[in-house]
Structure 1
Amino acid sequence: MLQPPVMTIALLATREATASTLYGLYDLFSSAGRDWEIVMHGRPGRALLEPLIVSVDGQGYRAGNGAWIQPDAKLADCAALSAICIPDLMVAPDEPLSGHYDAEIEWLRARHAQGVLLAAACTGALIFAEAGLLDGRDATTHWAYCDTLAKRHPKVRVHAHRALVATGEGERILMAGGGTSWLDLALFLVARLVGTEEAMHLARLYLIDWHREGQRPYAALTTSRQVEDAVIAKAQVWAAQHYDTPTPVCTMMQLSGLTERSFKRRFKLATGMTPMEYVHTLRLEEAKQYLETTDEPVEAIAERVGYADASFFRRLFGRRVGLTPSQYRRRFRSMRLAMQ
């Protein structure tokens, strides 16, 4: 029986690529078809995917964390590819990227036009956006970079809560959210290219648990952004210390000396949130800490952070975090205790 050819996946290595994701993807793709047979029958199976680390010039370099990365080839030398995958980028959310990846972008556009499947882990999706490949399409990236992606590229429909997005014609552009959701992306790619059964083999071998709830439970709801408006910055400092008071927005407005309309307009302009949304984020972040570190009842925690109505707190927490307070406690308190 004639066996199908091994499919090549190019892993695009930029100077900002993190070695852990790059080589983690390399290991997982290399394992497809090979390692299940080793475990079950004592001999390696036939590899089904060939990962190839590629860069603009093919030269080795030090990654941001000091690890040495040695590409296998340069972009111009790549033969037929089944897929291209971009690892995450070690860049700050506000770091400008325009003009920084011109060669990579030209290559990605050409390969996309040829029908190659494109995928990006975490902040790697920012390159897709710079290439214009996400205009008018759904997208996701690390939760801390979603605001940046949405502001820089208003034509992109950013889904901050989703850990995995498939978009575009034929769903040929795939993106994962933050952190270890690159594992979801890798399994999804294996399922698309090789088959669901092999993806399940890898999930069992590597003990991979799908991020079913998305990335919202892991996200920090507040931002530490410094604002240029001194009046609003003063209000933020006060809110951080008095978020649990009964009428924090009214007090912030009084301290600002502004009219209600001017205060709310300037606050939204400076922070991207209404004053009440900002207070809610402060309260919910504090509630997360209590849920992770104490055994206090949910009702007591709600009152601690400023909510007299525990049922309202539960609904708000579930809507903003993606888990109920009890579900959040079960997941993250046990995780914290296991690491102590």
Structure 2
Amino acid sequence: MKQVTIVVPECRVNMNTIGGAFDILNQANEYWMRSGNDAAIEVRIAGFVSEQRSHSEYLSIHPISIDTINNTDLVLIPAPLSDHENAIKNNQQLIEWIRVQYENGAEVASMCAGGFLLAATGLLNGKRCSIHWNAIKDFKQLFPEVEVAGEKIITAEKGLYTNGGAYSFLNLILYLVEKLFDRTTAVYCSKFYQIDIERHSQSPFTIFDLQKGHDDALIGEAQVYIEEHIDAKISFEQLAKTLAISRRNFDRRFIRATGDTPVAYLQRVKIEAAKKELEKGQKTVFEVMLDVGYADDKAFREVFKKITGLSPTAYRNKYNAVVLN
């Protein structure tokens, strides 16, 4: 029987990641036994803290002492809700415990922002990691040696598993259920909890934040110009000249300030505007394409799918407002 340990950090955590993982894994084990098999796993919730309360104080968890666990086959790290740097600072003992468990043969999976604690072990250096799209910038600053797979729902590499944001941890748990049991059990849990088992990308859920968290006033001015002229054909050569800077320096400063080239930034601004129009459902894909400055239908669809993971039509069908009778 494999031992699964859900650890409880000393900081505010997303209690749903703890409870959800615990419930699904135990349901999988019960289904497995109903099918005539012996129990495959034992799930424990453990930590260096004796109690963990939810941020609104209406729920509490009383983990067993992590010192009582001599060995484990799988470690699950829930998502901290507090400041990530402080969460890392306040959980050095737990971080070291996780690292030692991995070195002793355990696999480790982080749920959502739990990736910050996993990365703090150093185990992800040189490997890929998925993290909530809204936390990618902070994650990259803290862990430049980790390759961020921002579009992925799940990454799996050398016994280390991560997932994207929020409730996509459910997809990670289904993935682990299939590893611990089999595909049939994972499909059963998918149906029982009504989780889409085939989600592979978090790109459709990403909201572009316009990358204004820098102090380069000239690039900020360029960003405003781009955002106000998404329906026009922008010449970055001319824009750089207007801002009294060479094109080469303009590109260099733009990338340093935003993390994107001017062309990539323009594409993301256009596609974000297109997404909002498609969500309203009042215009055709062709009309939306023209509104955001594309004249080539093929080019628009290719860029849209590259950024969102869906075609414009599929995106509109998925997110456009639906009135229920």
In the superposition, the TM-score normalised over structure 2's length comes to 0.89
1:45-88 deviation per Cα after TM superposition (whole angstroms, max 9, x unaligned): 9764332222223x213333444332321222224322110112
Aligned counterparts of 1:8 and 1:318: Cα–Cα separation in 2: 41
Structure 2 equivalent of residue 71 of structure 1: 62
- Give the drift of 1:277: 1.4
Aligned counterparts of 2:156 and 2:118: Cα–Cα separation in 1: 13
Task: Confirm whether residue 305 of structure 1 aligns to residue 292 of structure 2.
Answer: yes
C-alpha spacing 1:338/1:103, structure 2 compared with 1 (3 Å)? farther
Aligned-residue Cα RMSD (Å) equals 2.6
CA contact (8 A) 1:222 1:281 kept: no
Indicate which of 103, 108, 128 corresponds to 1:113: 103
Alignment of 1:30-45 (within 5 A): 30-34=26-30
Structure 2 equivalent of residue 281 of structure 1: 268
Alignment of 1:109-148 (within 5 A): 109-148=99-138
C-alpha spacing 1:213/1:328, structure 2 compared with 1 (3 Å)? farther
Alignment of 1:210-225 (within 5 A): 210-225=197-212
* 1:315 counterpart letter in structure 2: E
Alignment of 1:1-340 (within 5 A): 5=1, 7-14=2-9, 15-34=11-30, 48-57=40-49, 59-91=50-82, 95=85, 99-168=89-158, 172-247=159-234, 249-250=236-237, 252-333=239-320, 336-337=321-322
Aligned counterparts of 2:150 and 2:128: Cα–Cα separation in 1: 10
- Give the drift of 1:163: 0.7
In the superposition, the TM-score normalised over structure 1's length comes to 0.86
C-alpha spacing 1:114/1:338, structure 2 compared with 1 (3 Å)? farther
1:270-306 deviation per Cα after TM superposition (whole angstroms, max 9, x unaligned): 1111122111111100100111112422121111011
CA contact (8 A) 2:76 2:109 kept: yes
- Give the drift of 1:224: 4.4
C-alpha spacing 1:176/1:98, structure 2 compared with 1 (3 Å)? closer
| Structure 1 unpaired stretches of 5+ | none
C-alpha spacing 1:179/1:211, structure 2 compared with 1 (3 Å)? farther
- Give the drift of 1:106: 0.7
| Structure 2 unpaired stretches of 5+ | none
C-alpha spacing 1:47/1:208, structure 2 compared with 1 (3 Å)? farther
C-alpha spacing 1:153/1:278, structure 2 compared with 1 (3 Å)? same
Identity of aligned residues (%): 26
Aligned counterparts of 2:287 and 2:22: Cα–Cα separation in 1: 47
CA contact (8 A) 2:109 2:160 kept: yes
